[in-house]
Amino acid sequence: MSDEIRDKVVGLVAERMGVEPEQITEATHFVNDLQSDSLDMAELVIDLEEGFDLTISDEDAQKIETVGQAIEYIKQSQQQSQ
């Protein structure tokens, strides 16, 4: 299950930022590595909310700086809702 979440997040990030999934790891930093700006991040939050059927508060969204943090956030959210 966890690999599925990881692959899906990586796929969404790759699609949004126009890069190949192979270029993305858990350590990939949205701003430093992918040159994301605030609009990209807002789009990514929508992608993640839609992709995983959850709501990410603005406060939580601001704490997500790497792909690994995004994966971790989604795993925790799904555990809490189970």
Partner 1 sequence: MNVRRVVITGAGVVCPVGCSEEVVWPAILEGRSGIGIISSFDSAEFEVHIAGEVADFDPLDHFTKRELGRLDRFVQFAVVSAESAVKQAGLDLEKMDHERAGAFIGPGIGGLPELETQHSRLLNSGPRRVSPLMIPKLMTNAAAGQVAMKFGLHGPTMSVSSACASASHAMGEAYNCIRYGTADVVICGGAEAALTPTGLSGFQQAKALSTRNDDPEAASRPFDLNRDGFVMAEGAGSLVFESLEHARKRGAQILAEIAGYGASSDAYHITLPEPDGKGAALAMRNALADAKLAPEDIDYINAHGTGTPAGDGVEAKAICSVFGDHAKKLAVSSSKSVFGHLLGASGALESAACIWTMRDNVCPPTINLDDADPECCGLNFVPHQPQERQVDAVLNNSFGFGGHNVCLAFRKFTG
Summarize as ranges the residues that interact with partner 1 (CB under 8 A): 16-19, 38-39, 42-43, 46, 49-50, 55
Cβ closest to partner 1, residue 3 vs residue 53: 53
Radius of gyration of the chain (CA): 12
- In angstroms, give the least distance from the CB of 5 to partner 1: 21
Q: What is the identity of the amino acid at 5?
A: I
Q: What is the identity of the amino acid at 23?
A: Q
Hey, what's the torsion of the CAs at 32, 39, 16, 27, to 10 degrees? 30
> Is-catalytic flag, 7?
no
- In angstroms, give the least distance from the CB of 3 to partner 1: 25
Cβ closest to partner 1, residue 27 vs residue 39: 39
Locate 25 and state its tokens: 């790891």
Give the catalytic positions in this structure.
37
